[in-house]
Amino acid sequence: MRKFKEFLIEKLIFICGLASIFFVILIFLFLTKEGLAVFKYVNPVDFLMGKSWYPISEPAQLGILPLIFGSLIVTLGAAIISIPIGIACAVYIAEVAPSKIKEVLKSGIELLAAIPSVVLGFIGMVTLVPWVKTVFHLPTGLTALSGSIILAFMAMPTIVSIAEDALYSVPKSYKEGAFALGATHWQTIYRVLLPAASSGIVAAVMLGIGRVIGETMAVMMITGNAAVIPQSILVPVRTLTATIAAEMGEAVVGSEHYFALFAIGIVLFIMSFIINVTADLFLHKRH
Amino acid sequence: MHNKIKMQAKDVDFFYGKNQALKNVNLDVYANRVTAMIGPSGCGKSTFIRLFNRMNELVPHTALCGKIFLDDLEINNPSVDPVDIRRRVGMVFQKPNPFPKSIFENISYGLKVNGIKDKAFIGQKVEDSLKRAVIWGEVKDRLHDSALKLSGGQQQRLCIARCLAVETEVILFDEPCASLDPISTAKIEELILELKKDYTIIIVTHNMQQAARVSDYTGFFLLGELVEFGKTQDMFTAPRNKKTEDYITGRFG
């Protein structure tokens, strides 16, 4: 009887473990099946490199280059903002902050991670967007920059907490060794701790960016959603994610528009897959 | 009859939170001599040695009463920058702790943090230090390999070379051979005897034979107190204190 119980529980856990992989495969298969169908209407090069996205004109123009650029520019902007601040914050928490401030900051960061993206988008819309508009004298504040700033806030918690972990797990003996040689605190951080934690920090950055590239709600609310190849960071852009979210409801099932949206899904899937695998490689290098 | 005093501890009490780890310790360290600290685990000898380069400040909730001198400078005075002290008083740790960098960078690091930029000078200094630490022959063909690939004994000699490169005046050894095999230990001991020509050396050791072999002066610690301090020869042949005698003859420890 006891053996049977063990057997049952073991198998149950096994099935649960298998289920997650099974679902990923299922999603991927479904995505491919629906997405690849678009290539009956448009060849892959035109799809990826086409400069116009007019899915409901006649004939439909299904070039997603503006959307790819939209995603990239928003992500790049968010990375430029969040990486230095995030790493600096992690260094402060791991190395400099007195233990009380450290606790407060850590819970603050966790709280930031818990804010739903729609709330961040909403706050961005009423505060950040008008600010960007007046500061840069723009016709509209719904720009890639606004999206980057809000997304930076979303990437920050991931970057800070994983980078802080990485710094914390650097052996104490490295720090002692550097201090014993007469290194100042900053010299120790800069030349010993950061290099020693570098693979974990890179992983933190990649995971942060992975979160940014997949984010939908906040960007849809504040980037203006113009499917045009952006010439600067101060113009409205539309990202891959926002396109799917905005248009899936109105696309006729089985139409080329519908298939195109799934194909965008594949592109996104591949992008975040690459980012996550890179992050994983760096994380495992650490151990 | 004694030569110059290099470092000095005066009426030193030390606390970890409410625990008193050192009780009224007075001790003189003579220049160009090897001073050994012996005693059972937890007797405060490691804590004591770490006062000489203010390393205990990295541990939160610690407090020091009393004075520590390096020449005439009171080093635990708040106006003294610990960084300046550590550039004069180097330290080699119990567990070899090379940085996860190349052998070359491990040595050049200390020079760089001291503001030296001249590449030719750094290269020469790296070579000299490695030679001085008697490890040059073993690593000269792979200076740019990771230091973590070296054996434990080699790593420890690299750590000593790292310390020599910054030209400190005093070197603190905190159980430098605790994790090494007998052959590596012998090499380090030889090195210590060689180095005392130019450096003042303080060594903490668990190994009484080691203290007898390398040191000129020995301090015996027990429960945070310095029970006995004197010439090594005298202490090992005719200890004045009963507790010292019991410890060095192996009756407890």
| Same domain membership, residue A193 and residue A93 | yes
* Whether residues A194 and A130 fall in one domain: yes
Q: What tokens does B133 get?
A: 């630490």
Query: Containing domain of residue A34, as a range?
Result: 2-40
Q: Is the CB of B91 less than 8 angstroms away from the CB of A183?
A: no
> Could you tell me if A29 and A125 lie in one domain?
no
Main-chain phi, psi angles of A233, to 5 degrees: -85, -5
pTM: 0.83
Question: Amino acid identity, residue B25?
Answer: V
- Give the count of Cβ contacts less than 8 A between chain A and B: 66
Q: Do B84 and A182 touch (CB under 8 A)?
A: yes
The three-class DSSP label of residue B116 is coil
Residue B2, pLDDT > 80, answer no
**Contact, B84 vs B112, CB < 8 A?**
no
Same structural domain, A198 and A228: yes
A128 within some domain: yes
Query: Which ipTM value was assigned to this complex?
Result: 0.88
Q: How confident is the model at residue A286 (pLDDT cuts 50, 70, 90)?
A: low
Within-domain flag for A48: no
Closest residue of chain B to A99, computed from CA coordinates: B60
Cα separation, A211 vs A155, in Å, equals: 6
Do A33 and A165 reside in the same domain of the chain? no
A15 and A87 belong to one structural domain: no
> Of A174, A180, A196, which is closest to B86 when you measure between CB atoms?
A180
Domain annotation covers residue A45: no
Query: How many angstroms separate the CA atoms of A230 and A238, rounded?
Result: 9
B191 in Cβ contact with B168 (< 8 Å): no
- In the structure encoding, which two tokens stand for residue B67, read together? 């004075």
Q: Which residues of B193-216 are buried (b: 16+ CB within 10 A; e: fewer)?
A: eebbeebbbbbbbbbbebbbbbbb
Angle formed at CA A16 by CA A13 and CA A20, multiple of 5 degrees: 145
Min Cα distance A188 → chain B (Å) is 9
Query: pLDDT tens digits, residue range A179-214?
Result: 999 999 999 999 899 999 999 999 999 999 999 998
The mean per-residue pLDDT over the stretch A257-264 comes to: 93
Same domain flag for A212 and A244: yes
Q: How far apart are CA A279 and CA A195, in angstroms?
A: 17
CATH number at residue A190: 1.10.3720.10
**Least CB-CB distance to B53: which of A173, A180, A187?**
A180
- Mean pLDDT throughout B121-135? 93
**Is A46 inside a domain boundary?**
no
Whole-number Å distance between alpha carbons of A51 and B199: 73
In order of A6, A106, A219, the CA distances from A94 in angstroms are: 43, 10, 31
A22 with A149, same domain?
no
**How close A286 gets to chain B, by Cα (Å)?**
12
Q: State the total domains in chain A.
A: 2
- Residue A240 backbone dihedrals phi, psi, to 5 degrees: -60, -45
